């Protein structure tokens, strides 16, 4: 079979395929006979319909179209094999199918054009001798004290107070009614602005400015009127920037009685028997986190620099596949939150998710290709023993090992180990200057501010529309939940691992594209 190749952009190969006359006739006859055997026409037994009767009844166009589909599919597959093309995904027919039907004459040569995606064409101009900066994250022992203090706060006992006014740090139970100023200067109640027996901790942040401060000093059963103003940036447009009055009555007041920071507390909040053991565990954990974050910053700085030297043509098949993977990951997260994704993720929503995931998919592919090219040039591989050890480690962290797809787990772990090995090789063969934490972040913020100031005049001329969901006032007034301290050990918590990923990816995956 005659095949002519043409290199196309975005890692595609164009194919011009010439189907021999004999093959075009044989395929037509085979399809025709198959159809004759399956069709039912009154007055004839199945499979005994005369050829001419069949053709008069159904015409040649339908038969040619069916034969042509088989011809094209078979020809492309043979061409790929014959020319040793490393094709990715399905082929794309670039000839117009309707025109091919008109041109197709069984027993004559048929020529058509198609294209196939091939592995990305990658050029990495430089990957050694680079110089970058990365922020060094240093261990701060105050983190341990903050966690221990948070443990005390979480175990605090609320003790009723009757002999003094409210103070910051107390827990108050209040009734309140909010009213918003109208155009004529009067005040009217608004939806979501009132509540009874509302408990909140008196602390800064998380409330409308002046609300908590206005409660400080109140005694039991005392009522106070607070004259406040909603911020201009308030998401509920009909309240933003408006004057408001809140009538607040203090019904209960409690203060926190903290437990002693001792061995008893350590035993209650962790698996350790002494405070010293708990403190040591926290110190080691935060030291490890600081070291890991510094290493991650080094890797990220080098990878960002490498991407500047990368030229890659990424085929659409891979972009689509990576976008599907991102959608799949999102579906897994939604499923873990108890959301029925079969009802939520319609075909239209999934397609929109794919479109929004496209930029991230391309970025992830570029990063993968960059590291892959380094591995290729430097012959970086993973030892089977290391692969098995990491897989065993991952499996030990999974509560239901039988649900894990072992092939997928091996693929994920191999990629993970390969990436770690490549990145460490890059750190060893390039120059990474460690700078104090916040140095580069501040510089990036300054660059962004400068860029914004350059575009500000043009942006000022254009109207700006900001859409935001309306948030009830009670959501803003309601105190934020105190962040839970990171436990020293969490034996019952199943970590997010490669094994967990392999176990859950298929369980909550949207339907594949067709």
**pLDDT for position 475:** 31
**pLDDT for position 479:** 32
**pLDDT for position 450:** 66
Closest CA to 130 of 374, 296, 372, 367: 374
For the ranges 12-21, 258-267, 457-466, which has the lowest average pLDDT? 457-466
Q: Please report, for the chain, the start and end positions of each structural domain, with discontinuous segments joined by +.
A: 2-119, 157-257
Q: Which helix (H) or strand (E) holds 135?
A: strand 131-136
3-state helix, strand, coil in the chain (%, to 5): 45, 20, 35
Say how far apart CA 239 and CA 219 lie, in whole Å.
30
pTM (global) more than 0.85: no
**pLDDT for position 130:** 95
What does the pLDDT look like over 151-192, one tens digit per residue? 999 999 999 999 999 999 999 999 999 999 998 989 999 988
Q: Residue 483 above 70 pLDDT?
A: no
**pLDDT for position 238:** 85
**pLDDT for position 6:** 94
Q: Residue 493 above 60 pLDDT?
A: no
Q: Which fold has domain 2-119?
A: Alpha-Beta Plaits (3.30.70)
Say how far apart CA 253 and CA 248 lie, in whole Å.
13
**pLDDT for position 512:** 45
CB atoms within 10 A of CB 269: 20
Note whether 294 and 434 are within 8 A (CB). yes
**pLDDT for position 351:** 92
At the second CATH level, the architecture of 157-257 is Roll (3.10)
**Mean pLDDT taken over the chain:** 85
What does the pLDDT look like over 278-301, one tens digit per residue? 999 999 999 999 999 999 999 999
Whose tokens are 């004999």? That residue is 22
**pLDDT for position 506:** 46
- Average pLDDT of 230-253? 91
- CA 460, chain centre distance (Å): 33
Q: Please list, in sequence order, all residues whose beta carbon lies within 8 angstroms of the beta carbon of residue 152, skipping any fewer than 6 positions away.
A: 258, 259, 261, 265
């Amino acid at each position: 079979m005659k095949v002519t190749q043409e290199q196309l952009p975005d890692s595609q190969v164009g194919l011009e395929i010439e189907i021999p006359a004999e093959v075009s006739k044989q395929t037509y006859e085979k399809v025709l006979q198959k159809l004759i055997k399956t069709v039912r026409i009154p007055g004839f037994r199945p499979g005994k319909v005369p050829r001419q009767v069949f053709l008069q009844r159904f015409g040649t166009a339908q038969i040619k179209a069916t034969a042509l589909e088989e011809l094209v599919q078979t020809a492309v597959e043979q061409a790929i094999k014959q020319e040793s093309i490393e094709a990715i995904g399905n082929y794309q027919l670039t000839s117009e199918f309707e025109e091919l039907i008109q041109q197709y004459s069984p027993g004559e040569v048929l020529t058509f054009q198609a294209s196939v995606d091939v592995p990305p064409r990658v050029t990495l101009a430089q990957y050694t001798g680079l110089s970058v900066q990365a922020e060094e994250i240093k261990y701060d022992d105050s983190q341990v004290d903050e966690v221990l203090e948070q443990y005390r706060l979480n175990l605090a006992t609320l003790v009723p107070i009757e002999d003094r006014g409210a103070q910051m740090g107390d827990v108050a139970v209040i009734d309140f009614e909010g009213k918003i100023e109208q155009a004529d200067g009067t005040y009217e109640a608004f939806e979501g602005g009132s509540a009874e027996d509302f408990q909140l901790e008196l602390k800064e942040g998380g409330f409308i400015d002046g609300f908590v401060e206005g409660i400080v000093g109140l005694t039991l059963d005392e009522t106070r009127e607070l004259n406040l103003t909603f911020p201009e940036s308030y998401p509920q447009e009909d309240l933003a920037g408006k004057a408001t009055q809140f009538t607040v009555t203090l019904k209960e007041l409690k203060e926190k009685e903290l437990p002693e920071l001792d061995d008893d507390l350590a035993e209650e909040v962790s698996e350790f028997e002494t405070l010293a053991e708990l403190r040591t565990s926290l110190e080691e954990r935060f030291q490890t986190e600081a070291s890991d974050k510094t290493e991650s910053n080094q890797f990220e700085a080098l990878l960002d620099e490498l991407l500047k030297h990368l030229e890659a043509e990424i085929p659409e098949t891979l972009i689509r596949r990576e976008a599907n993977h991102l959608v799949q990951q999102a579906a897994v997260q939604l499923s873990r939150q108890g959301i029925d994704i079969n009802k939520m993720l319609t075909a239209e929503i999934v397609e929109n998710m794919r479109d929004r995931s496209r930029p991230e998919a391309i970025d992830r592919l570029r990063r993968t290709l960059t590291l892959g090219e380094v591995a290729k040039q430097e012959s970086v591989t993973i030892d089977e023993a290391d692969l098995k050890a990491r897989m065993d480690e991952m499996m030990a962290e999974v509560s239901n090992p039988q649900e894990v797809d072992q092939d997928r787990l091996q693929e994920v772990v191999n990629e993970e180990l390969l990436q770690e090995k490549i990145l460490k090789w890059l750190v060893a063969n390039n120059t990474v200057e460690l700078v104090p934490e916040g140095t580069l972040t501040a510089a990036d913020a300054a660059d962004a501010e400068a860029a914004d100031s350059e575009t500000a005049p043009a942006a000022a001329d254009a109207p700006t529309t900001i859409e935001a969901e309306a948030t009830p006032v009670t959501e803003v007034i309601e105190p934020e939940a105190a962040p839970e301290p990171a436990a020293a050990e969490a034996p019952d918590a199943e970590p997010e691992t490669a094994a967990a990923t392999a176990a859950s990816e298929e369980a909550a995956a949207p339907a594949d594209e067709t």
